[in-house]
Amino acid sequence: MKEFLTYVITGITLGASFALVGSGFVVVHRVTRVVNFAQGSFAVLAAMLAAWLLGGVLPHGAAEVGAVLICGLVGVAVGVIALGRRGTPPLISLIVTLGVSMLAAAAIILFWGQDPVSPPGLSGHLALLGVQVDRQRLLVLVATLLAFAVLGLFFSRTYLGKALTASASNPYAARLVGIDVRRMGLLAFALAGVLGGLAGVLVAPSNALSFSSDLPLALSGFAAAVFGGLSSPGRTLVGGLVLGVAGQLTAGYLDGSYQTEVALLLMVVIMIARSRTFVAEEAK
């Protein structure tokens, strides 16, 4: 029983980071219909930046916040490239962001080399239901829940959040009522940069990240976002947690090397099962 609880709790904390990366996909896709392949690169970039800033003069907290904010700015730049000229189809934008993720890999190797980086985080354990959990992993969970709560309030309660949703559901009508749809798209990319960066800063202390970590991060995030049809933050959170727990249970009871494959299989199965609703959503 204690074994089972350990797997579930580690799974939840791991799944929280999937959900955080996934929320970046959701925010961008909601507003622009673009799937941003470079979503995992934000996380890697933030981890590198945090480690670099911590090695400089900045104390804990300031360094992480700084790294996340820089990722937001990078997000805007990615948005400018990905949205391209007016009328660039979303599938072409996906391939453009694939190019962006490769550029990001080049930049990361240029500035920080090829080795994995793991900035220091919270140390020590905490007993939870009789299970020892790293405090850093709990921080990931708490920060994720906070981020999703803020995101939910932002979309439902603020004028800006509603403008973002409006641009998503009907760009033409949104433009008629005076919303700058392109600027909303860039704002979504900035938000995605912040969310991806947050994930990277939180994950890196327990799992070292390198320039090539962007693909696994992006895949697990996308898998989480698929649960929410790439448009619902709430269901993305649930999806992330399900994937995390399923992965940890497989690792614990079957074989540790098949964690990613379980996530991939679940993703494909859910995508195919829900393919009809996706087609309907795309057609809207």
Q: Which residues in this chain contact other proteins in the complex, by CB under 8 A?
A: 35, 81, 84-85, 88, 90-92, 94-96, 98-107, 109-110, 113-114, 215, 219, 222, 226, 230, 257-258, 260-261, 264-265, 267-268, 271-272, 275, 278-279, 282
Q: Which amino acid is at 33?
A: R
E strand spans, the chain: 125-128, 131-134
CB of 185 to other proteins, least distance (A): 16
The dihedral region occupied by 229, where left means phi > 0, alpha psi between -120 and 50, and beta the remainder, is left
CB of 28 to other proteins, least distance (A): 11
Among the listed residues 30, 12, 11, 43, the one whose alpha carbon sits nearest the alpha carbon of residue 225? 30
Q: Kindly give the residue spans of alpha helices, DSSP state H, lying in the chain.
A: 2-32, 39-55, 62-83, 90-112, 135-157, 159-169, 171-176, 181-203, 214-227, 233-253, 259-273, 275-283
Q: What three-state secondary structure class fits 1?
A: coil
Q: In the structure encoding, which two tokens stand for residue 53, read together?
A: 């800033």
Residues in the chain: 284
CB of 215 to other proteins, least distance (A): 6
Q: Which amino acid is at 212?
A: S
Among the listed residues 66, 21, 36, the one whose alpha carbon sits nearest the alpha carbon of residue 209? 21
Among the listed residues 228, 252, 244, 189, the one whose alpha carbon sits nearest the alpha carbon of residue 31? 189
Beta-carbon contacts of residue 65 (< 8 Å; ≥ 6 apart): none
Distance CA 39, CA 139 (A): 21
CB of 61 to other proteins, least distance (A): 31
CB of 87 to other proteins, least distance (A): 10
CB of 91 to other proteins, least distance (A): 5
Identify which of residues 13 and 39 has a Cβ nearer to other proteins in the complex. 39
Distance of CA 222 to the CA centre of its chain: 8
Identify which of residues 94 and 143 has a Cβ nearer to other proteins in the complex. 94
CB of 26 to other proteins, least distance (A): 13
Q: In the structure encoding, which two tokens stand for residue 59, read together?
A: 């104390």
User: What does 16-43 look like in DSSP terms, one character per residue?
Assistant: HHHHHHHHHHHHHHHHHS---TTHHHHH
CB of 205 to other proteins, least distance (A): 25
**53, 119 Cβ separation under 8 angstroms:** no
